[in-house]
Amino acid sequence: MNFTIFLVILLVIIATIIIKMVALIPQGEAAVIERLGTYTRTVSGGLTLLVPFVDRIRDKVDTREQVVSFPPQAVITQDNLTVAIDTVVTFQINDPARAIYGVNNYIVGVEQISVATLRDVVGGMTLEETLTSREIINRRLRGELDAATTKWGLRISRVELKAIDPPASIQQSMEMQMKADREKRAMILTAEGRRESDIKTAEGEKQARILSAEGEKHAHILAAEAERQAAILRAEGNRAAKYIEAQGEAKAIQKVNAAIKSAQVTPEVLAYQYLEKLPEMAKGSANKTWMIPMQFGDSLEQFAKALAKKDEEGVFRYEPKPVDEATREQANESSSADWFSTASSPEIAEAVAAANAVANKPVDETPEQPVNENNPYNQG
């Protein structure tokens, strides 16, 4: 019986020794180990063997990056206004031994240093600078905290101002100012829109008047050009008509002359035709008396003697000259297509082309007017 009790006690002692010899440290944490009350080493992330009743774990710290939010702190600005500022500090423990032996409570230490630094920084700024200089304040806070907590084994990675709350009266004044600024901007934008609208309307009216004037100008130009071309064509037509009439008369005379030559008409026939025409000449309303000279027969006789030859019987006979082939062709010609040319004059064609070019010319765009710097609407 006594042996059994002794064996149980021995097993309990052995189990206790084994438990005291083994320590399991989770990953992300570090343990500070002391031997007989003196710091010996720091272990993290794994199974650690200890000397029973000699070594002990002083404390465990979290080596992960930690985010701590501190309550709002009342800070006085340079212009004697009290603002409440919330800060958020992100830090990590690099040396667990320093974090345990260097300070009693590093969280409280970080908070106090951040408050002191914040009051020092914000105390040198006005309220407006404080509200608009968050980045500067963050950078200075981080630098001061990092320098002060290095001896504690901490590394300050980031400091942010979560909120800056001015007094209620200041907030109300700021809201009224912001409202006034918004109304001012709205009035400015409305005026700018009205000004742009008036400018666009004036520009449109100006362009309409310019285009109307250009259209009237081109209409007058085309009308004048058309009148000039019509006058030119009428003059050309009259000239061509007179020329054609003269050509026709000349051709008729040439054709009659060629026909006479080709027919080999004798003076007797001519005299006979002359006598046939005398009654028609006498029928004119202006002819009252028609007389034939007594020497008319003698004149014909002298004409026959001059142009005719006396034959064997003593009679004067007219022998016409032989007709050449050109005269015969001219007498027999019946086509009048090549008597005259009806082609347009090159000057007329050139004038018509110039008129078409003027009519088809586009209206020139109005050049952009220079901006009058003295115009109040053009000033920013």
Domain-embedded: residue 194: no
Mean pLDDT, the chain, whole residue set: 76
**Residue 372 included in any domain:** no
CA separation for the pair 18, 295 (Å, rounded) = 188
3-class DSSP state of 41: strand
pLDDT recorded at residue 362: 60
Instruction: Flag whether 79 is in a domain.
Output: yes
pLDDT greater than 60 at residue 318: no
Q: Are residues 58 and 70 in the same domain?
A: no
Task: Note whether residue 365 is domain-resident.
Answer: no
How much is the pTM? 0.43
Backbone angles phi, psi at 363, to 5 degrees: -75, 130
- Domain assignment present for residue 256? The answer is yes
Q: How many domains does the chain have?
A: 3
Look at residue 153 and tell me if it is in a domain: yes
pLDDT digit string, tens, across residues 102-127: 888 888 888 888 888 888 888 888 88
Which of the listed residues 112, 146, 166 is the one where a domain comes to its end? 166
Separation CA 102–CA 150 (nearest Å):
10
For residue range 3-54, list pLDDT tens digits in order. 787 777 777 777 777 776 777 788 888 888 888 888 888 888 777 777 777 7
CA distance 84 to 71: 9
Question: Which of the listed ranges 153-157, 166-170, 234-238 does the model predict with the highest average pLDDT?
Answer: 153-157
Are 228 and 303 part of one and the same domain? yes
- Give residue 351's pLDDT: 63
Co-location of 137 and 162 in the same domain: yes
Residues 125, 160 share a domain: yes
Q: Is 79 in the same domain as 151? A: yes
Whether residues 26 and 78 share a domain: the answer is no
Burial (CB count <10 Å: 0-12, 13-18, 19+), residue 141: buried
Q: Could you tell me if 315 and 246 lie in one domain?
A: yes
Residues 349 and 254 in one domain: yes
Among residues 102, 131, 166, the one where a domain terminates is 166
Find the Cα–Cα–Cα–Cα dihedral 93, 91, 65, 97, rounded to 10°.
10
The verdict on residue 23 lying in a domain is: yes
Candidates 19, 41, 38; CA nearest to 30 is: 41
Same domain membership, residue 13 and residue 79: no
Q: Say whether both 253 and 345 belong to one domain.
A: yes
Tokens (6 digits) for 279: 């009654």
Question: Is there a domain that residue 342 lies in?
Answer: yes
Cα distance between residue 229 and residue 349, in whole Å:
10
The domain that holds 74 is classified in CATH as 3.30.479.30
158 and 129 housed in the same domain? yes
The Cβ of residue 99 has, within 10 Å, a number of other Cβ atoms equal to: 23
Same domain, residue pair 123 and 217: no
Domain membership of residue 15 as a residue range: 2-62
Helix 296-307 × helix 267-282 angle, to 10°: 150
